[in-house]
Amino acid sequence: MKLSIRTIASLFTCLFISANLVGCSKKNSLSSKGIRYKFKDLIDVKGVPIKAVPNDTYEINPFSDMGAWHAYHLPGIDDKEYYGGFTGPLYIAQEYGRWLSKSFNIIKIYDKQREKEIKLADCKDLDLSYYPGLLVQRYDMEDFILNLELRFVTNRTALVTTKIKNKTDRELNLKLNWEGELLKDFEPNNSEILDIRLEASTNGVKVKFPDVDDTWNVFTSKEMEYELLYPFEVKTKINGDKYIIEIEDISIKPKKEYILNTANTYTFTKDEKDKENEKVKDIFKNPSKYIEDNDLRWENYLANSLKGENRDYDRLAVKTVETLTTNWRSSAGEIKKDGITPSMSYKWFNGMWAWDSWKQAVAVTNFAPELAKENIRAIFDYQREDGMIIDAIFYNKSRYNYFGEKGGNWNERNSKPPLASWAVWEVYESTKDKEFLKEMYPKLVKYHDWWYIARDNDKNGIAEYGGSVDPLNNTEEEMILAAAWESGMDNAIRFDTDYGVKVMENIDENGRLVGYSINQESVDLNSYLYAEKKYLGKIAEILNKTSDVDRYEREAEYVKDFIQKNMFDRETGFFYDIDILTKKPLINRGKGIEGVIPLWAEVASKEQAEMVKDILIDEDKFNTKVPFPTASKDNPRYNSEVYWRGPVWLDQAYFAIKALDKNGYKDEANKLAKKIVENIEGAMIDGEVIRENYNSENGEGLHCTNFSWSAGMLYLLCKEYLMQ
């Protein structure tokens, strides 16, 4: 019998698949008993994109992993047209997210004998599920069961495993097609139309991108590429923005299973792509190894996150891990190390911020310590010669800022609150990695000293928030904005200009302008600096730097004495920023959550801590339905919905809980931790997401979805207070 080339290729395909994927079925049987399968659909990732450019807050929650710059979704139960495909992908075009397709790769199955399509839309018994690190689709058809699994196996590649199990006692003869279509915006005069195109390849299909540098809308280059790869040669037909890949003559013996792995890669440069192609070759040779690695990595994440005896909060803890790992981005462009971005789900948040990174690292070190270290290093990669740590870094360094002005999302006009030594110490506590301390210590010292060079206007050893000498800090209004950003509390009441906030120049000993300060010494900043001195002293002791230990102890005592004497108002029983000239507390601006940081840093006296505690548990002040609003409820300018003027930010709430605990109020800390978690929208409800901040009076989630530091702080609350 003479066989056609296509028949020979098909037979080779079946042999190739059987030879290389025999381990997958066995491993998946084992992994189905793993921890991950206890946690189904904690976040709703179902949906089909309807346009290429998402809203600022994306309409569908993404699933990503391993630092990849692309993400996927599941079709919903009513999205029958998209059964058999993972919807999307969403890809980050250097800084901004876009959807490539409604569903780029959908399987179509045809019965060769009956010459008709077996429509998955007719399936009555199906499962569309998101498990930690894994998307699964299962269709129980009349003659076979189709299983689709998507998991990330590198920081540029998602692996889709397709399994078709013959349920019958006869051989099944099937034809398989895969098809997809690019998603483009064709609105007249829409500047966000992107001229992407399909290109057939020997083993699949590619998406090619143009060179675009379109202000703040989109950045792409001709080297960028999204590619769908099969482990053998395929026939790809392209018709405009649509493609079809055909595989014929697939025969499955009775009760046997056909297994195929396909790779979905997204890369930014030719060098990345060349290296990824080599990895994909190995993935196709050893798919079971990569699947097992994914299983083991996630089993480890979850095992390290579920050590408590109280299982009521397990699902929340796992949801926080899912949120953080989806927001993990690997090295790309100007970002030299892996780290956690604030949210993949928000247009403006695909970079890394300094104090976000410190807080996230403290949580992530509990289940992925190397990622925590890299997140810290990523920010220190851009430490300036004078020691300054800049606010935010992005894929691109010199683009456009939040307002479309030249300068970029990349922000060097201010720093962020000094929590780096805390983060490094917490990573050390979880890893005992002394080499990491040796690496980071001189950088931490340089950063710490910078505050007193560039942000201590009257050279009294007490610092102020301010801004750097930067082209975007030209006016007093711009400098005050930079100072507010530097505090991390962008629009906090204490920075309202009608309260008399002014800008001062900071001059070094050589008469050189080195930065700007506003005319108030902030209580949170100097409490953070006190804590940093204590952590630096601990690190110095481990590294046998005796003189440094003595130095930081002396300096810490000075700052502690200053804060206790000058920043506490006995009449109102609370801590405040102070006027730089009079050294008097700025009581007229009302109470803000910054007043609890002295307790977190353990700088308050016992009497002061008692008075602050009474205010924190007062339901007319900080003990709202969701405790610890950023402004006290009795502050005249309090607003429960406006960013840093009343909503609850979970980093500050966590600091408040720790503050109570550290000062001997463990019962109050436990009670309020539980109150926070059980009253914020979505935390304890499957399918709902973690938000950037929360309405303090009704718990409504506000602003960005899938927010990293909120997830990190919830992780810590679970670990330290709720799961004990």
**Cα atoms found within 13 Å of the Cα of residue 683, Cβ hemisphere only:** 29
Calpha distance 614→612 (Å, rounded): 5
- 490, 550, 614, 634: which is the annotated catalytic residue? 490
Select from 671, 587, 664, 569 the least CA-distant residue to 628.
671
Q: Respond yes or no: is residue 490 known to be catalytic.
A: yes
Calpha distance 597→655 (Å, rounded): 7
Token pair for 400: 């456009």
Q: Are strands 106-111 and 172-181 parallel, antiparallel or unpaired?
A: antiparallel
**Total H helices, total E strands in the chain:** 16, 30
Angle (CA) 413-418-419 rounded to 5° is 130
> Helix/strand/coil (H, E, C) string of 631-700?
ECCCCCCCCCCCCCCCCECHHHHHHHHHHHHHCCCHHHHHHHHHHHHHHCCCCCCCECCCEEEECCCCCC
Are the CB atoms for 58 and 346 separated by under 8 Å?
yes
430 φ/ψ angles, rounded to the nearest 5 degrees: -85, -20
Q: Respond yes or no: is residue 233 known to be catalytic.
A: no
Would you give the DSSP letter of residue 1?
A: -
Q: Identity (one letter) of the amino acid at 476?
A: E
Select from 21, 259, 264 the least CA-distant residue to 146.
259
Q: Is 321 helix (H, G, I), strand (E, B) or coil?
A: helix
Token pair for 565: 């004497």
Residues 6+ apart with CB under 8 A from 279: 154, 156, 157
Token pair for 527: 């409490």
Rg (CA), the chain: 28
Calpha distance 617→17 (Å, rounded): 63
Q: Which residue has the tokens 């900043």?
A: 525
First and final C-alpha spacing in the chain: 71
Angle (CA) 722-315-430 rounded to 5° is 60
Angle (CA) 142-148-150 rounded to 5° is 170
- Helices 434-454 and 420-431, axial angle in degrees (round to 10): 170
Q: Is 274 helix (H, G, I), strand (E, B) or coil?
A: helix
The total number of residues shown for the chain amounts to 724
Calpha distance 282→666 (Å, rounded): 53
Calpha distance 94→295 (Å, rounded): 29
Query: 84: left (phi > 0), else alpha (psi -120 to 50), else beta?
Result: left
Would you give the DSSP letter of residue 177?
A: E
- 456, 668, 681, 692: which is the annotated catalytic residue? 692
Calpha distance 542→437 (Å, rounded): 9
Token pair for 35: 């921890």
Calpha distance 496→159 (Å, rounded): 51
Select from 264, 249, 157 the least CA-distant residue to 207.
264
Positions marked active-site? 490, 692
